[in-house]
Amino acid sequence: MASVYDRHVDLDQFMKGVKKRNHGQTEFIQAVQEVAQDIFEFIEDKEQYHTAQILRRIAEPDRIVSFRVCWEDDEHNIRVQRGWRVQNNNAIGPYKGGIRFHSSVNESVLKFLAFEQTFKNSLTGLPMGGGKGGSNFNPKGKSDSEVMRFCQSFMSELYRHIGPNTDVPAGDIGVGGREIGYMFGQYKRLTGRWEGVLTGKATEYGGSQMRPEATGYGAVYFLQNMLKHAGHDVEGKTAVISGSGNVATHAAEKIVQLGGKVLTLSDSGGFIHDPDGIDQEKIDWVKRLKNERRGRISEYADHFTGATYHDGKRPWDVTCDVALPCATQNELNEGEAKELVENGVIAVSEGANMPTTLDGVKVFHDAKIMYGPGKAANAGGVAVSGLEMSQNSERISWNQERLGDMLTELMADIHEKCVEYGDQGEGHVDYVKGANIAGFKKVADAMLAFGVV
Ligand SMILES: NC(=O)C1=CN([C@@H]2O[C@H](COP(=O)(O)OP(=O)(O)OC[C@H]3O[C@@H](n4cnc5c(N)ncnc54)[C@H](OP(=O)(O)O)[C@@H]3O)[C@@H](O)[C@H]2O)C=CC1
Ligand SMILES: O=C(O)CCC(=O)C(=O)O
């Protein structure tokens, strides 16, 4: 008798199902679409993946925990926020991925991030599954005490769902060293245990050297590998960077160290353009502005002569050789991608997660420029988090130099995997395809080994 379930759905039927089951979750649907088109091609002649419905299963989170987070502001008002942890897939290791605090956070955003994280973590070669969490809490303008009370309340719910062998969160937008400290302190208080349950900790209490730098540096190493593969170098290149947080400032720092010139940085208000170049001294100033004074990037143009501030704008119309979107999802659209290409960009390396819209990706693809998608290019952060987990379990700590070498090697390996599965001949590499297939294969083969679970 014919089965009512057709194992051989095509891409369109598959995406129809995804859209129906995840109605209105536009970011999640976008992330699945971008992966599915490559995976369907890859598994066309591989019956085992169809029979076991592997992609269908990866695109359905193992579980989503959602909870209320109550906290008291400095005026003694009771505030109520939502918190989530999306545990997408733990086939190859404990769930692993950051926590985001931003007013735009919702279930769709966290599902897309956890889905992407599953492929990214697989690409690192380390034993980590994919997860992501967060809240619609907006830390901007809040006092340290308010942030502390919020973090403690958030962890009072989250702690029962995480653990060093279960799920290991870290930072993301709006969650840096300060927030990780408050959350780790609360976990320790609630459980009575010191264990490596979060990464991105300060080095005084078990954090890893190089973790703050790892995502931004890693995105530049990935860029460097792409350029080298095509016979180019970072030295002498002009770079346009968006964002001015952890990833953007460290990407800028590494570009400068390798002899490139950084022209822009941005935040959600607008971007600054400094034709003289944003050197190390200026980057340090931006780090203090953002991490200590918690100010706006517009202040840069008041402080440094020659720089201009462009209110409400994104930096993609500034002519450059390389572009690094390092702020947030969907911050670079089709029109902006066309503008970059027309202005002669040769490579794009994504420090942020899914910063380019699907139409924008198509522009880069058609123009055959070197385009490193976030799940490969920004994997250095979670890779060093994986190394932090190893150091915590072994009760050891590696030095900066050793970790720097490991990060460089990890990014070169990820680049190699992308080339292995994405080489299109005549010197062109489809890095999206390479990252999707290499990331998928390891998770899929582990899932096959487990049977139907
Ligand atoms: N931290 C990490 O290790 C990793 C981060 N990533 C990704 O990198 C990106 C940046 O993260 P990170 O640097 O850690 O975060 P931060 O909070 O340190 O910085 C975020 C930056 O992006 C800007 N930004 C945030 N939302 C928007 C928006 N809607 N429009 C325009 N600008 C925006 C912020 O500006 P403003 O201050 O005005 O909000 C800020 O400049 C994210 O996509 C994150 O998922 C990826 C891998 C690892
Ligand atoms: O280090 C981690 O676990 C989090 C990294 C992360 O959230 C990401 O890669 O997007």
Question: Which atom of ligand 2 is nearest to 116's Cα?
Answer: 10
Q: What is the pLDDT of residues 281-300, one digit of tens each?
A: 999 999 999 999 999 999 99
Last residue of a domain, one of 329, 345, 372: 372
In a shared domain, residues 73 and 175: yes
Cβ count within 10 A of residue 317: 17
- Residue nearest to ligand 2 atom 9, measured at CA: 382
Which structure tokens are listed for 331? 């911050």
- Residue nearest to ligand 1 atom 3, measured at CA: 381
Residue 69 located in a structural domain: yes
Tell me which residues are annotated as active site. 132
In a shared domain, residues 275 and 312: yes
Q: Is 174 helix (H, G, I), strand (E, B) or coil?
A: coil
In a shared domain, residues 85 and 113: yes
In a shared domain, residues 149 and 232: no
What's the whole-model pTM score?
Answer: 0.97
In whole angstroms, what is the distance from residue 277 CA to residue 185 CA? 40
Q: Return the best residue to mutate from 85, 179, 382 for the ligand 2 pocket (most ligand atoms within 8 A of CB).
A: 382
Query: 168: Cβ below 6 Å to ligand 1?
Result: no
- 309 C-alpha to ligand 2 centroid (Å): 30
Q: What b/e readout covers 345-354, taking b as 16+ CB neighbours within 10 angstroms?
A: bbbbbbbbbb
- Residue nearest to ligand 2 atom 1, measured at CA: 382
In a shared domain, residues 185 and 278: no
In a shared domain, residues 106 and 133: yes
In a shared domain, residues 154 and 254: no
Which structure tokens are listed for 315? 């930096």
In whole angstroms, what is the distance from residue 389 CA to residue 298 CA? 38
In whole angstroms, what is the distance from residue 214 CA to residue 228 CA? 20
Q: Return the best residue to mutate from 84, 117, 198, 354 for the ligand 2 pocket (most ligand atoms within 8 A of CB).
A: 117
Residue 413 located in a structural domain: no
Residue 322 located in a structural domain: yes
Q: Return the best residue to mutate from 222, 267, 272 for the ligand 1 pocket (most ligand atoms within 8 A of CB).
A: 267
Query: How far is residue 360 from each of residues 256, 270, 363, measured CA to CA in Å?
Result: 27, 20, 5
Half-sphere exposure of 126 (CA within 13 A, CB side): 26
pLDDT value, residue 6: 58
Query: 98: Cβ below 6 Å to ligand 2?
Result: yes
Beta strands in 59-118 (DSSP E): 63-72, 78-89, 95-101
- Which residue range(s) make up the domain with 100? 63-194
Query: 97: Cβ below 6 Å to ligand 2?
Result: yes
Question: Which atom of ligand 2 is nearest to 200's Cα?
Answer: 1
Comparing C-alpha atoms, which of 26, 25, 23, 58 is closest to residue 39? 58
Query: 176: Cβ below 6 Å to ligand 2?
Result: no
The string of DSSP codes covering 349-399 is E-SSSS-B-HHHHHHHHHHT-EEE-HHHHTHHHHHHHHHHHHHHHHT----
Cβ count within 10 A of residue 231: 7
Residue 421 located in a structural domain: no
Q: Return the best residue to mutate from 99, 291, 328, 354 for the ligand 1 pocket (most ligand atoms within 8 A of CB).
A: 328
Residue 250 located in a structural domain: yes
Identify the CATH number of the domain in which residue 286 sits: 3.40.50.720
Q: What is the pLDDT of residues 60-96, one digit of tens each?
A: 999 999 999 999 999 999 999 999 999 999 999 999 9
In a shared domain, residues 128 and 189: yes
- Residue nearest to ligand 1 atom 22, measured at CA: 327
> CB neighbours of 90 closer than 8 A, spacing ≥ 6?
62, 129, 131, 167
Query: 262: Cβ below 6 Å to ligand 1?
Result: no
In a shared domain, residues 173 and 228: no
Question: Which atom of ligand 2 is nearest to 99's Cα?
Answer: 7
- 135 C-alpha to ligand 2 centroid (Å): 16
- 382 C-alpha to ligand 1 centroid (Å): 15
In a shared domain, residues 220 and 304: yes
Query: How far is residue 442 from each of residues 33, 120, 353, measured CA to CA in Å?
Result: 20, 11, 21
In a shared domain, residues 169 and 274: no
The stretches in the chain having pLDDT less than 50 are 1-4
Residue 106 located in a structural domain: yes
Residue 96, annotated as binding a ligand: yes
Residue 290, annotated as binding a ligand: no
Residue 228, annotated as binding a ligand: no
Cα three-residue angle 252-257-262, rounded to 5 degrees: 35
| Pairing between β-strand 129-135 and β-strand 95-101 as defined by DSSP bridges | parallel
- Looking at all shown ligands, the one closest to residue 173's CA atom is 1
- 381 C-alpha to ligand 2 centroid (Å): 6
Query: 353: Cβ below 6 Å to ligand 2?
Result: yes
Question: Which atom of ligand 1 is nearest to 176's Cα?
Answer: 18
Last residue of a domain, one of 136, 160, 194: 194
ipTM above 0.90, yes or no: yes
* 449 burial type by CB count under 10 A (0-12 exposed, 13-18 middle, 19+ buried): exposed
Left (φ > 0), alpha (ψ -120 to 50) or beta: where does 67 sit? beta
Residue 453 located in a structural domain: no
In a shared domain, residues 224 and 184: no
Map tokens 């952890």 to a residue. Answer: 246
> CB neighbours of 426 closer than 8 A, spacing ≥ 6?
none
Query: 327: Cβ below 6 Å to ligand 1?
Result: yes
Query: 117: Cβ below 6 Å to ligand 1?
Result: no
pLDDT value, residue 9: 83
Residue 435 located in a structural domain: no
Query: 172: Cβ below 6 Å to ligand 2?
Result: yes
Query: 329: Cβ below 6 Å to ligand 2?
Result: no
Last residue of a domain, one of 160, 194, 228: 194
pLDDT value, residue 7: 63
Q: What b/e readout covers 434-443, taking b as 16+ CB neighbours within 10 angstroms?
A: bbbbbbbbbb
What are the CB-based long-range contacts (under 8 Å, 24+) for 434-438? 434/376, 435/119, 435/123, 435/373, 435/375, 435/376, 436/34, 436/35, 436/38, 436/39, 436/42, 436/119, 436/375, 437/38, 437/39, 437/42, 438/122, 438/123
Structurally, the chain folds into a number of domains equal to 2
Sign of the dihedral through C-alpha 179, 185, 190, 196: positive
Identify the CATH number of the domain in which residue 118 sits: 3.40.50.10860
